[in-house]
Amino acid sequence: MLKRFSPATEQLASVKYTEADFHVLVPGSHVKCAISGKMIPLDELKYWSWQRQEAYVDADASLAAEQLNQQT
């Protein structure tokens, strides 16, 4: 499990998403949800799209992203 960072040292991570996992390219404490903009601690990241290379805070945000993608 990743060590939690204090708010003063939090940094956005750069992540490469694959179908079953993700790889941290640039270390950080969190990523940003592509739909809500909320910060997601890396140790709590469960939802992402490897095709769009986006992270989502929860299943609802993931579904919203999929629906937006289907409209375009």
Predicted model pTM:
0.83
In degrees and rounded to multiples of 5, residue 69 shows phi and psi of: -65, -35
pLDDT for the residue numbered 1 = 46
In degrees and rounded to multiples of 5, residue 61 shows phi and psi of: -65, -40
Confidence band of 9 (pLDDT split at 50, 70, 90): low
The full set of domain ranges for the chain reads 12-71
pLDDT average, residue stretch 42-57: 97
pLDDT average, residue stretch 27-45: 97
Confidence band of 71 (pLDDT split at 50, 70, 90): confident
Q: Are 11 and 29 in contact (CB under 8 A)?
A: yes
Instruction: Using the predicted structure, report yes or no on whether residue 5 has a pLDDT greater than 60.
Output: no
Distance CA 1, CA 29 (A): 12
